[in-house]
Chains A and B, each alone.
Chain A
């Protein structure tokens, strides 16, 4: 009963925040007018409203939902697999790889503007994320899933390496520092329809695969040997789950930069609300992440109009206190990992 309610609530709240987000901005478009424009009855309404809605706010808001959703499901998958509540998808080297790819693109071809689809920077970020993640897996070696700490350590080491190269490139390209910094902080301002399509094509299948493997993640979260004894092939299942996590996260980061805290925070919040079973946690966290990022993006562009603050700053401002509260709560229960 509660479960059914939670899923319906997720859909309704997401729909509500999406309407809210397309309504507010530098120009306020009342809800009734949004509905008329969406249903094709826009006679007498300003042409600019239609333009703002269809060309800017709707794709941007949908992109926020898709990015937020996939980051949160990636968080669920990595936390469950690594049996570590502090895991998040970025630990696999995805965000540092994407940042390195983007930095190289910005430095090498500063005059190229984002074109159709992902654009040069987005494509470079996506490739960087995939290459670096692959390197992290290779560096961690064969037993990586048996001892997740080797995978996490290799992810952290390679992230530092990428960061060092980024700083080096920044040192020699002072004029691009601002662009690189803002890319890293994350933003959805460049999200148009082509990016929404691209995001859907990758993140929706990846989320479906992860959701369908929810119970396998449950089994894997009991530990490598236990999972084997319960009738899964831990190595193979973990590889599939991590590959789809990496793919989805890389797509999100390529479009929106490395927006922090969603992958870490949302799974914890959803687990507190609806329990730890991964079969439901994956989908619920998708909704949680989507709702949170749509709201965070709305805040990022309305706090100080017409200027924007990077959305990554908003999620970090929300995320840090949340984590502190979570840590205190857990301490009260005498454990940090529950």
Chain B
């Protein structure tokens, strides 16, 4: 079986207006991998994620998802294959948490069928996994930013996708929830899913990701193991900030900002 979940070959994208150009980009993401997209604001990380998710479609280059091009998948097949957690903060008014997470089952049940026993079990398991029991019947409109982010993650995972695309999944979350998410994503990758997430903290990428794709200026600058990609020299060049490496207690490399100038 082909374990290449996502393959990009010379993919290029130009917005209808403006001078920004993304690509050409070539890379491959395998199942069982946790890939962190790292790079400065406006570098094109979200564009890359939008291209892979199919929200943007590039006319140049070749993009294959699970061996087929985007056009060969129907919308619902795509929904079963791939979950996408964007940054858009929309909340449908009045939706209770359980029903909102249940929307993650849409690609499986379709527009007409009722949720079955298996669907309910999956939803309940996600509610438990994200510690949302107490919020179950609350409306999503009234949740705090962090609570809603956990609900959205639960929805994305209830989709049971082979490929998980996440744009800054740690947004709005405190340290413990953020670590919780990263651990869960790593676990999902180990269980065979392909996880691609935009991460802003280079240390998160160093500690959790299997691979880092470094995005800068609309290009994929470097891909590989976190330690090899996130070198202080390279980061200093793209972020314009000096970073010093230090070792955490268990010997893992971390990067810190040396001092305030």
State the A residues within 8 Å of B (CB): 80, 83, 85, 212-216, 218-219, 221-226, 228-233, 271, 275-277, 333-335, 337-338
Contacts and interface: CB of A to CB of B under 8 A. Distances in A.
B88 A219 contact: no
Contacts of B96: 275-276
B1 to A, nearest CB: 23
A229 B112 contact: no
A338 B141 contact: yes
Contacts of B159: 230
Contacts of B205: none
A271 B106 contact: no
16 contacts: A80-B92, A215-B106, A216-B111, A222-B100, A223-B86, A226-B84, A226-B88, A229-B84, A229-B85, A230-B79, A230-B103, A271-B94, A275-B94, A276-B93, A338-B94, A338-B141
Most chain B CB inside 10 Å of its own CB: which residue of A83, A218, A222, A228: A222
Contacts of A218: 92, 95, 103, 106
A334 B83 CA distance: 32
Given A222-B103, A225-B55, A229-B79, 4 more contacts: A83-B91, A215-B106, A215-B110, A333-B142
Nearest to B111: A215
A42 B141 CA distance: 57
Contact of B139 (A215, A230, A231, A338): A338
A80 B94 CA distance: 11
B53 interface: yes
Interface of B is mostly: mixed
A221 B89 CA distance: 11
A264 B114 CA distance: 28
Given A228-B54, A231-B76, A337 B86 contact: no
A338 B78 CA distance: 31
Interface residues of B, number: 40
A231 B78 contact: yes
A338 B93 contact: yes
Interface of A is mostly: loop
A267 B141 CA distance: 17
A141 to B, nearest CB: 11
Contact of A83 (B50, B84, B90): B90
Interface of B: 50, 53-55, 75-80, 82-86, 88-96, 99-100, 103-104, 106-107, 110-112, 139, 141-142, 152, 156, 159, 165
A212 B92 contact: no
B113 to A, nearest CB: 9
A231 B107 contact: yes
Contacts of B91: 83, 337
Most chain A CB inside 10 Å of its own CB: which residue of B50, B88, B99, B152: B88
A258 B100 CA distance: 35
A223 B91 CA distance: 8
Contacts of A233: 75
Most chain B CB inside 10 Å of its own CB: which residue of A222, A224, A229: A229
Contacts of B90: 83, 221-223, 226
A212 B112 contact: yes
Contacts of A222: 90, 92, 100, 103
Given A223-B88, A229-B84, A231-B106, A337 B75 contact: no
A337 B91 CA distance: 9
Contact of A225 (B75, B82, B84, B99): B84
A226 B86 contact: yes
Given A226-B88, A229-B84, A231-B76, A338 B142 contact: yes
Contacts of A215: 106, 110-112
A227 to B, nearest CB: 9
A236 to B, nearest CB: 9
Contacts of A337: 91, 93, 141
Nearest to A229: B84
A276 B92 contact: yes
Nearest to B165: A229
B93 A85 contact: yes
B80 A231 contact: yes
Contacts of B142: 333-335, 338
Contacts of A221: 90, 92-93, 95
A273 to B, nearest CB: 12
B94 A276 contact: yes
A229 B106 contact: no
Given A231-B76, A334-B142, A335-B141, A219 B106 contact: yes
Contacts of B112: 212, 215
B106 A228 contact: no
A277 B88 contact: no
Contact of B88 (A213, A224, A334, A338): A224
Nearest to B152: A226
